[in-house]
Amino acid sequence: MRFRVRIEPDGKTALIGDEQTFFDGLTAANIKFRTDCGGKGTCGKCKVFIEGRCTELTSQERVLLPPPELGAGYRLACQVRPLSDCVVTLAPETRLSKRKIVIGGISTALDVSPSVSKVYVELTPPSIDDPEPDWERLKEGIKRQRRVERLDISPRALSKLPETLRAGDWKVTTAILHNDLVVATEPGNTTHRILGAAVDIGTSKIISYLVDLTNGEILRTSTLENPMMPWGEDIMSRITFCLESREKFDHLHNILTEGVSNCLHAVCQESGFPVSDIYEIVVVGNTAMHHFLLGIHPKHLALAPYVPAIRNHVDLNPAEVGLKINEHAGLHVPPVIAGFVGADATADLVAMGIDSSEEMTLGLDIGTNTEIFLGNREEITTCSCASGPAFEGYHIRHGMKAVSGAIERFWYDEAEHSWRFATIECEAPRGICGSGMIDIVAELFRRGLIDSSGRFRSGDREFLVSGSSSGEITLDQHDIREIQLAKAAIHAGCAILMKKKNLTENDIDKVLIAGAFGNYIDPENAKIIGLIPDLPSQKIRFLGNAAGTGAVMILLSSEARERATRIAEGTRYVELAAEREFQTEYLDSLHLPHRDRGRYPNVWNLVERSMKVGCG
């Protein structure tokens, strides 16, 4: 017989059979609570209060619960079963409060519950009288420590098990993935050391994070240029290249997996840990990078209707795709949303928290391909636009990445009547990075040196940004046009999503901006050029690499992993190429800030005031 049980303070209701303990029912209902022994009745941590009929006190409860707690009505969830409909309330000390963790600048309450864990066991060696095989002996030892329904061992772990048990004098630590698969055994007690890695494969670079899975701390990050760059700065160029032959696709797959492996080895070497300590890796990337990594030919992503091979998450051994790291580790690739909105966008949404927010939120992950999100907990709509690599410095004569010597800030000093700039690490100027380009174009427009179409008013063909003995750094008409093309694609995507949801800029409560240089953009200048809507700056927040942050969250938390699946399944994708209004909106968005002045009233007020002042 099953009884209806209300669980407080979560407010959930579960059906629990009279043959089940409350521990079993709470676990099945996905309620998080303290249980150091896994329901074995040895720790005394799963304390609850029960209103309703239930089984009598057990001898274990009388041993583990002190008299004051017994008198107050405490019970142990693993020892008691329901005999009627009832209410079970978790004791305050039993509830698992979420840990507040700061990842990549985002502070989040995160349930640290990784998919991989370790269990230390001490076993009795076999003998003539007790010849039980090694695996069965180990499995029984684990079950004495942890409550598991089913337990298997991977072929790789099994092949090394006999030697490991004997090398450790039958005192070993097991690494268990998803609470049902032993993936490794190690001599001695190594439960204090369990690492994971998150990897964000971008179009132009790969970022890896080394994470302590016991406490959620990011130990180190490492960045590597995406080795696929010589075969195209954009995704379509790489897909076109590999359409020529299977060998060319295999080549791109191999150099990508080698690049990811190298990035992981680098982050381990820099932190002083062996790569063998990594037991799970979460990898995100756009859908094309996702397919290249998994060995899936991406040609159908380039052909209408742009359908990916799979949406669901993928779990496998890293060696199956050619990653050269710990052979015992697990590889988790979160779900994609659409052909041009990949697992990196899913990770963005996990980090941004739009799926749990009441506020209408506009989210952007700005890069070579920019993902745009609009919505709240009711519904999220998304699209992807080819904004191009201009903000990474490509196609700009003096453009460069955000490295030492790049001009990252540019402004007009009213007091000195002169132009000023700042470079990364205060080194001599070598070029202009993305945030610097936005500043320069915004200042030229604001001061009346270029018009709304982006043309120089004076007939000049370029603007001198910096002149020194080491050479001149300029921004010319072609460079300005590249910035306009990039920002127009992004703004047009935002506009189409707003039209789809019958919203205007006034309906947006906040704007979240992610991307390689997101933290360094001046929000006022981003509005002046029309990159983002004309909203108060206090509504705008920069998140840095949200995709990497989301990947770390998915690595650390089973709850975040489940959210990723729900997000991918529930997010509505809009294909911009199929939208009749997109081309018109794109052409209007080429203007600074937009052809329709009514869309940017605050920007035009600022520009008109600045033009009156001039620039000396």
The total number of residues shown for the chain amounts to 616
Going by pLDDT thresholds of 50, 70 and 90, the confidence category of residue 470 is low
Which CATH number applies to 195-344? Answer: 3.30.420.480
Span of 19-28, 512-521, 560-569 with lowest mean pLDDT: 512-521
What span, in angstroms and rounded, lies between the C-alpha atoms of 370 and 358?
24
3-state secondary structure at position 313: coil
| Range 150-168 average pLDDT | 94
Give me 99's structure tokens: 């840990």
Q: Residue 275 — pLDDT band, cuts 50, 70, 90? A: very high
State yes or no: pLDDT of 99 exceeds 60. Answer: no
Q: What integer pLDDT is reported at residue 103 of this predicted model?
A: 54
Poorest-confidence range of 57-71, 389-403, 409-423, 428-442? Answer: 389-403
Kindly report, as residue ranges, where domains of CATH 3.30.420.480 are found in the chain: 195-344
What is the per-residue burial (b if ≥16 Cβ within 10 Å, else e) of 519-547? bbbbbebbbbbbbbbbbeeebbbbbbbbb
CATH class of 116-187: alpha beta
Using pLDDT thresholds of 50, 70 and 90, give the confidence band for residue 253. Answer: very high
Q: Which helix (H) or strand (E) holds 15?
A: strand 12-17
pLDDT of residue 107: 61
pLDDT for 149: 78
CA 183 – CA 460 distance, rounded (Å) = 66
* DSSP secondary structure of 422-491: EEGGGPPP-EE-HHHHHHHHHHHHHTTSB-TTS-BTTS-SEEEEEEETTEEEEEEHHHHHHHHHHHHHHH
Domain boundaries for CATH 3.10.20.880 within the chain: 116-187
- 611 vs 428, higher pLDDT: 428
* Token pair in block for residue 220: 């180190």
pLDDT at res. 105: 56
Average pLDDT estimate for 556-582 = 95
Per-residue model confidence (pLDDT) at position 587: 97
Residue 227 sits at the vertex; the CA angle it makes with 491 and 267, to the nearest 5 degrees, is 95
**How confident is the model over 21-66, as pLDDT tens digits?**
998 888 777 787 766 666 778 878 889 999 999 999 999 999 988 8
Segment 126-143 shows an average pLDDT of 95
The architecture (CATH level 2) of 351-386+487-602 comes to: 2-Layer Sandwich (3.30)
Residue range 2-90, CATH number: 3.10.20.30
